[in-house]
Structure 1
Amino acid sequence: MSSSTLRPESEENKDRSTDMERGSASDYPPPSRSGNEGSREKTTQPQGEEGSAQPPKDGDEDDIPDGGYGWVIVGCLIAMNAVTWGINTTYGVFSSYYLSNNYFEGGSTLKYAWVGGLSVATCLLCGPLANAISRWLGFRTTMMFGTAFVVLGQCMAGLCRTYGEFLFCQGILFGTGLGFTLVPSQPLLAHWFKRRLALAQGIATSGSGLGGLILSNTTRLIIDRINVKWALIINGIISLVCLVPAIILLKGRHKAIGARQAPLELKWLWHPGFLWVWLWAAFTMMAYFIALYSLASFATSGLNLSQTQGAALQSILSAGQMIGRPIWGYFLDTGGRINLTMICYIICGISSLAIWLPAKSFGVLIFFALVQGMTGGTIWSAATPVVAKVVGVKDLASALSIFWLILVIPALVGQPIAIALLDYSVSHLGRSGAEAYYISIGFCGGMALFAAGLLYGAKRWLQGSWKVLQRT
């Protein structure tokens, strides 16, 4: 054993990526015919636990524990998702209040839609930068910076008096906090889970549904009982209380699996398998945000239901996310990650066209909200296991960096496109009520179905054939 093997390292240094190599576009391994998870090239060297007398070899994925402390990581990510994406879901409650009370002078439905999209787009845009800082300072330090931005963004939004100030705080500052907090955490579960990765990811991301379900109702209560300023400040304090201990408890196994954190490797844009994955994600993201932000509006403006019923639909959608993501995680692990993700979005697209489009009652919308919640946001839980399936765990962080970057524009323009189609239906086609939403709903369902078809390209690349029923 060499002396370098015995040299003690801090835990933070262990968490940093040690593999500085850059792969060229010609380094892609051939598609696997065996259906094995992750990386195509398997190592045969034995691997021990971190800190043992015989440390694991870099790049060996065979000793992933598939549990253990990984379940603590799952719990931490549930809490983090609840007070980041869950709180982001409450933006619909705030924007409804702003519009109803003309809170910011010159505010409009389209302007507020841009704020919601900008926060998500900024989050995704931070992917490469968050990876670069994680490589330099460690993932915990990067996530603590993100926590500060999340808290400041919400608290300062409560103090804003103009739309421009609000756009910066809620859209850019809060969005940067989301990116610095969530992007470094995405690959961590793949360090602890292999066979049950999709299930663990599904349970972890169900926290966003839990947070959305609870915080949407508490936010409405605080606005009614106190005011909108304190609703934002209190949500910021809740984020601080939950994020700090969760980040402290997080632990990675970067060195054990030889994980790389190259912040911006453009080769993934034309990787023959990953190309189909990011195309799927781009169309899925637009469909997701159209449904997420249009359902309550369709209920209140299209069917003349009450604001209370519209808010209830948003809560049911969040409940669907909380229930559906672990269920789909289990299915992805047992039936094949690519196969079941395709089925999920086929169901999502069909439900939009067959349930939402002809809906005329609150009861039908309740059913659709539940189905949409269980399927539409599956991209957030499926992204890590699907990408790991295609590129392997070692390159997961680098590929996800590009993955999130690609989704910036779809996340930013999804809801504004829906509003533009709605305006076109009203002003040019003379439609009103529920009929004014038909083009947006059709566009939403069509994109989900098209995205499912695109993912078949990744399935074909992985299995080396066009067989539909092969487990992939």
Structure 2
Amino acid sequence: MAPVTPESQHATNDPEAHRQPLASELTVETSVTSLSLEEVDDDLAPDGGYGWVIVACILGINIVTYGINTSYGVYIAYYLEHNYFDGATYMTYAFVGGLSVGMAWFCAPGINFLVKTFGLRIPLFAGLVCISLGQCLSGLTQHLAMFVVWQGLVFGMGDKKTSLPPQQLLPQWFDKRLSLAQGISTTGSGIGGLIFANTTRATLATMGVKNTLIMNGCISAVVLVPCLALLKGRTTVNARVEPLQVKWLVHGTFFWVWTWGFFAAMAYFIALYSLAPYATDGIGLTQTQGAALQSILAGGQIIGRPLIGLALDKGGRFNMTILANIVAGLTCIGIWMPARSFAALVPYAMLQGVVGGTVFSVVVPVTTSAVGVLDMGSAFAIFGLCVVPATTFGQAIAVSLINFSKNTLLRSGGDVYQISIGLCGGFFWVSALLLFFGKVALQGNMKLLQKA
């Protein structure tokens, strides 16, 4: 029999001690930063059921958003070879690609505001319109300035209006399988990259830029309409989607998460957009071979995204993400840097596809671990804002280094790309170190193998 203490005696006499908390108190007032979902509500995350429909919808969304972005390197190679826009340089096209991705993440706080004000549907379908129109009008324009507007701004805004809100639904449906669900859904970027890298190259050669962009814009609309219509959240979860909470910038754990994201995103887009130009412009491969390497990288994403997600669930979200970033850096320095042939670039493209874009396939579960499921949406908006400079200017920085090597150091061939490749690998390693500090902050010690 337990001893009677003053505290227990007081609890016995206090009628409030016997009152069960209301469900609203559990979902609104309880902080889940250090609690699992089951401790908040036993039925909060079914880890399946309609959740798999949500996963399938997000997979389809990623096919036509991230997938088309992944294939932009094929467009760059074509624009450069045919001098498509007068006065445009490699730097110009790299900036447009970076602007498209950067604008997408810049919209994250605004998207949260729209979701909070109008609900889920209106921002999603507004994004659909921007994605389709952005591509179609990019094909119709004959002026570089308007190409920057339609491809860089309009398509970029639509990209995240349709892909960001659904990502925030996954923690409402999954807990123990969250990383696996996220990995499967982000496989869409690899599937889309594999499809569009090949179809875009073929249609560019046979139908030209105008028809290729219009066709891709129409395909985007056809895929997105049913995917967006089937999305829904769980009404039992009172998740917060505040547009702009700057407190997350200095949050003890999340500070390391967004700084990790900054460097990992910069490294990823340098690797993604530089592969095809390195193959064709750097070491003299054909456009077909450059597109094939882009396809292999996308194939690596298809294999790697679900495997990385499964690994996160088994080995720890922080642990396996750190390992993936270390390996990504090794592929840049150990394989890409000395590669001077198609055969040498094939293993690099495959491995980079598996581990290089880990930041975007694991950011949801990592953020959820850092701040809790109720605040994930608000913190995720800040994450998006923080990676804007990285996604916008990462490739432009790499191109500046390429031009410096060519014009100042008078290098030629593959040697022109060596500094930017080294920078890419270094950024991957810096990101791994920063996330390790986040792991230490979360678990309160420096045990390497502990699952944070």
TM-score exceeds 0.5: yes
Greater Cα radius of gyration, structure 1 or 2? 2
Please state how far the C-alpha of 1:94 moved relative to its aligned partner: 2.0
User: Contact 1:422–1:439 (CA<8 Å) still a contact in 2?
Assistant: yes
Give the counterpart letter for 1:88 in structure 2.
Answer: N
**Residue matched to 2:33:** 39
For residues 53-452 of structure 1, what are the structure 2 equivalents within 5 Å?
60=41, 63-253=44-234, 255-452=235-432
Aligned-residue sequence identity (percent) comes to 49
Q: Deviations over 1:331-369 (max 9, x none)?
A: 000000000000000100111111111112211200000
Structure 1, unmatched stretches of 5+, are: 6-17, 22-26, 30-37, 46-58
Give the counterpart letter for 1:279 in structure 2.
Answer: T
Q: Deviations over 1:176-209 (max 9, x none)?
A: 1012111111111111110010110000000011
Give the counterpart letter for 2:34 in structure 1.
Answer: R
Give the counterpart letter for 2:33 in structure 1.
Answer: S
Q: Distance in 2 between matches of 1:317 and 1:190?
A: 28
SS at 1:393 equivalent: coil
User: Contact 1:61–1:257 (CA<8 Å) still a contact in 2?
Assistant: no
**Residue matched to 1:34:** none
Please state how far the C-alpha of 1:43 moved relative to its aligned partner: 8.3
Q: Distance in 1 between matches of 2:147 and 2:38?
A: 55
Compute the TM-score of the two structures, normalised by the length of structure 1: 0.88
Q: Deviations over 1:224-265 (max 9, x none)?
A: 222211111110110101111101101111x31220011100
User: Contact 1:213–1:315 (CA<8 Å) still a contact in 2?
Assistant: yes
Please state how far the C-alpha of 1:467 moved relative to its aligned partner: 1.1
Q: Distance in 2 between matches of 1:238 and 1:203?
A: 22
Bigger shift: 194-203 or 419-428? Answer: 419-428
Please state how far the C-alpha of 1:436 moved relative to its aligned partner: 1.4
SS at 1:158 equivalent: helix
Please state how far the C-alpha of 1:221 moved relative to its aligned partner: 1.7
Give the number of the structure whose residues are more often helix, by fraction: 2
SS at 1:277 equivalent: helix
Q: Distance in 2 between matches of 1:420 and 1:43?
A: 47
Structure 2, unmatched stretches of 5+, are: 1-21
**Residue matched to 2:11:** none
**Residue matched to 1:56:** none
Q: Distance in 2 between matches of 1:370 and 1:143?
A: 32
User: Contact 1:289–1:415 (CA<8 Å) still a contact in 2?
Assistant: yes
SS at 2:326 equivalent: helix
Compute the TM-score of the two structures, normalised by the length of structure 2: 0.91
Please state how far the C-alpha of 1:302 moved relative to its aligned partner: 2.1
Give the counterpart letter for 1:93 in structure 2.
Answer: V
Give the counterpart letter for 1:325 in structure 2.
Answer: R
Please state how far the C-alpha of 1:109 moved relative to its aligned partner: 0.7
Q: Distance in 1 between matches of 2:167 and 2:96?
A: 24
Residues 87, 43 of structure 1: alpha-carbon distance in 2 compared, 3 angstrom cutoff: closer
